[in-house]
Chain A
Amino acid sequence: MRVNPNPYSDLLAAIDQTQQRIDTDEQQISTGLSVNVPSDNPAADAELLQNANQSSQTDQFLRSIGSIQGELQDADSALNSVVTALQQAISLGTEGANGTVNSADRAAVATEVQGIQSQLLSLANLTYQGSYVFAGTATQTAAYILNPSSPSGVTYAGNNGVNKVTVGSNSSLQVNLPGSQLFSASGSDMFQAIQDLINSLESGTTTTIGAAVNEVSAAYNYINTQRVFYGNGITQLNAQQTELNSETTQLAQQQNTIGGADLSAVITNLTSSQVSLQATLQAIGQTGQIDLFDYLK
């Protein structure tokens, strides 16, 4: 049987193939990735893109949470101060309602409560990065303005709008409570209660003072329950942060599983490819060195 007298093209093709495998392995080693171009593994590459998109989203959610956290914390501590101030107003009112206190002392108490009133006004006009936190979505103007002609002494200039921010793939969080809901809710209007207390201290009776103290107490109780909103928000954000951080880790692991090079396997392959390349080269070196013509001299 006749055999192919020219094995060189086969050997060269074998070298090409081996060289190609070596190139691929070397690329995997240098990049640490098994998928370097889409055709390396189209399905894995598409998964990697989705993974990258998710990672980018997760990182963004973490950044957004960071941005919101400050605002929620400021709002929470402002409400804390509001509650403390209202407690103070209640004890001052209770002191003023005592029948043994004379009108001069009551006037002095009234002045103190006025101090609390302006403190409350400034707390209700809390700003965070230039935005009024308790003004609903009308954040560019003060939530409350002093208005002596208003029965409560102030006017709410905000609106009832609320903002929600997406902080996870299926999670969005309401980030504000408008002043209309917090401080000016009908039946527990904080500014109305304080104004009533001041008025009754200045010109009322122990009965009206007592009624005003009750009003302030109602506002105090109401705000105390509303305050939970911010506390819960902060808790939710912290929990979400933890979850997103572990998601980031998972995504990174997943990315490595899908697209990371199995370095020990690649290096083993590379070594065996190099051995096979050497063998092929040697074969070429030896093939055809001798033929019958050499013996016809």
Chain B
Amino acid sequence: MSSLNASLATALSGLTAAEGAIAATTNNVANANTPGYSREEPVLVSSDPVVLTPLTYGTGVTLQSIQSVRDPILLSQIQQETQSSGQFNSLVSALQQLQTNFTGTSSGIGAAISNFFDSVNQLSTNPTDLSLRQGVITAANNLATSFNTTANALTQQQGNLDLSVVQSVGQINQLTRQIAQLNGQISNLQNVGENAGTLVDQRQQVIDQLSSLVDVSVIPSDNTLTLTTANGVPLVTGQQSFQLTTQINSAGLHEVYSQGNNITSFITSGQLGGTLQARDQQIPAVENQLDTLAAGLANSVNAVQVAGFDLNGDAGTDLFTPPPAGGTGAAASLSVAITNPSLIAASSDGTSGSNGNAEALYALSTQGIISGQNPSDYYSGIVFNVGNATSSASAEQTASSQVLQQLNDQNSTVSGVSLNEEAANLVQYQQAFDASAQVITTINDMLYAVVNMSTLTG
């Protein structure tokens, strides 16, 4: 048969379990606003019963564990989406900065090209007029300066992005160190069967931060986890983190290395991926197009110049300093080779009054001299490409941040602390606590009654 003492023990288990549950609730309430915190649930199980034939008695309740509520699949989706969100954030920010060099129609290379050809057209109305000739030289100088300014701005932006690559690598190293450290703490706790919930939450937070920087894959293993980049370069294995390093390449830009291997081209996601994409693909592509335009324009103008005659009847010479062979760096180095306005080769027959060569120069404005397109159209094409890249990256950024937002909402639905829920739990556990306490009081009364019974009879 059972005893009052056993009932007392059962009541006590209820009291203890309620205390533990209230502790979990309190912790939830306290962490209601802690980023990355997953709410905890007390796991209550009924204690093993005692069998006293023919009866089986329950022995109360056990607070088996306090468990963090989280959905691993959701967390891994969040981590994935954080990577692309990080990538688009840095890419869009770089592209938006890039497109400021191509904004507006009244200034910049486009206007400078128009102005140059306009000045040539004006010269052909009076080819001996020195002020009109000076006008052509001034317009050519402005054109060269526009190319130089834009090319330099691009180079500078590339340099800033390069700086950001180095900073990102530093941040990544710091975060992987933290993760390795947390791995150690978590496995220590879990090895002795403790709940490492809050540390796991912290680690998840750091992994999310890391995901916003670089593409990482998380491979969970017993009580710990391994992090690699998307192509398998290890970042963290258990309690060891592998530091990334940077080395300067021939172009003066930093490449990312892991244990001696250049992994730059494998980093495609996260903020670092986006930065690299802007630094190594988008900006060089625009630079390349500007070089093609600058070199094509300079070479074509020079070819017409040398075919004509200047104001003195001498054969024309280059108007622009010949661009580098192959065109690389042409935009940055474009410059006007002559300062004397009489050296503009407007004449096609050697007499100063002829404008035939000025007309030939002007005709370049409508000829497909740059990859089959006229200079203005080619330039419009560059601006279209920049605008299009920016706008599609922005669209992807918006989409990605919306997906991330939804995933975070979903995660919050699973793991977020609801104060209403906690209040209800608190009431529930408090009532359980009160009831158990009341049971103890009652048993106490009963025991008192039993003890006094002997006094009465004795």
Question: A interface vs B, CB < 8 Å?
Answer: 2-6, 9-10, 13, 36-43, 45-53, 56-57, 59-61, 63-64, 67-68, 129-132, 135-140, 159, 161, 163-166, 169, 172, 175, 288, 291-293, 296
Contact indicator A49/B353 (Cβ below 8 Å): no
Q: Is B320 an interface residue (CB 8 A)?
A: no
Q: Which residues of B contact A38 (CB under 8 A)?
A: 99, 102-103, 383-384, 386-388, 390-391
Contact indicator B387/A37 (Cβ below 8 Å): yes
CB neighbors of A among B327-381 (8 A) = 347, 349, 351-356, 359, 362-363, 365-366, 376-377, 379-381
Q: Which residues of A contact B390 (CB under 8 A)?
A: 37-39, 42
Q: Which residues of B contact A59 (CB under 8 A)?
A: 118
If A37-B99, A52-B110, A56-B111 touch, whether A161 touches B383 (CB-CB below 8 Å) is no
Q: Is B2 an interface residue (CB 8 A)?
A: no
Contact indicator A159/B413 (Cβ below 8 Å): no
Per-residue CB contact flags for chain B residues 89-130 toward chain A (1 = under 8 Å, else 0) read: 000000110011011011000110111011001101111110
Q: Is B423 an interface residue (CB 8 A)?
A: yes
Question: B interface vs A, CB < 8 Å?
Answer: 95-96, 99-100, 102-103, 105-106, 110-111, 113-115, 117-118, 121-122, 124-129, 347, 349, 351-356, 359, 362-363, 365-366, 376-377, 379-381, 383-388, 390-391, 394, 401, 405, 408-410, 412-414, 416-421, 423-424, 426-427
Contact indicator B347/A45 (Cβ below 8 Å): no
**Dominant secondary structure at the B interface:** helix
Please tell me which one of the listed residues A45, A48, A140, A292 contacts residue B419 in the complex, with CB atoms under 8 A apart: A292
Q: How far is the CB of B71 from chain A (nearest CB, A)?
A: 12
Measured CB to CB, the nearest residue on chain B to A140 is B352
Measured CB to CB, the nearest residue on chain B to A2 is B413
If A166-B121, A291-B423 touch, whether A139 touches B103 (CB-CB below 8 Å) is no
Q: Which residues of A contact B380 (CB under 8 A)?
A: 46-47, 49-50, 53
CA distance A291 to B427 in the complex (A): 14
Measured CB to CB, the nearest residue on chain A to B69 is A2
Q: Which residues of B contact A6 (CB under 8 A)?
A: 412, 416
Contact indicator A42/B128 (Cβ below 8 Å): no
Contact indicator B353/A137 (Cβ below 8 Å): yes
Contact indicator A39/B383 (Cβ below 8 Å): no
13 pairs, CB–CB < 8 Å, chain A vs chain B: A2-B413, A39-B386, A39-B391, A42-B384, A49-B110, A50-B376, A56-B114, A56-B118, A60-B117, A64-B121, A131-B128, A138-B353, A296-B423
Contact indicator B105/A166 (Cβ below 8 Å): no
Please tell me which one of the listed residues B100, B377, B410, B419 contacts residue A5 in the complex, with CB atoms under 8 A apart: B419
Contact indicator A166/B124 (Cβ below 8 Å): yes
Contact indicator B96/A49 (Cβ below 8 Å): no
Contact indicator A161/B413 (Cβ below 8 Å): no
If A52-B114, A138-B351 touch, whether A67 touches B387 (CB-CB below 8 Å) is no
Q: How far is the CB of B260 from chain A (nearest CB, A)?
A: 40
Contact indicator B387/A39 (Cβ below 8 Å): yes
CA distance A169 to B362 in the complex (A): 11
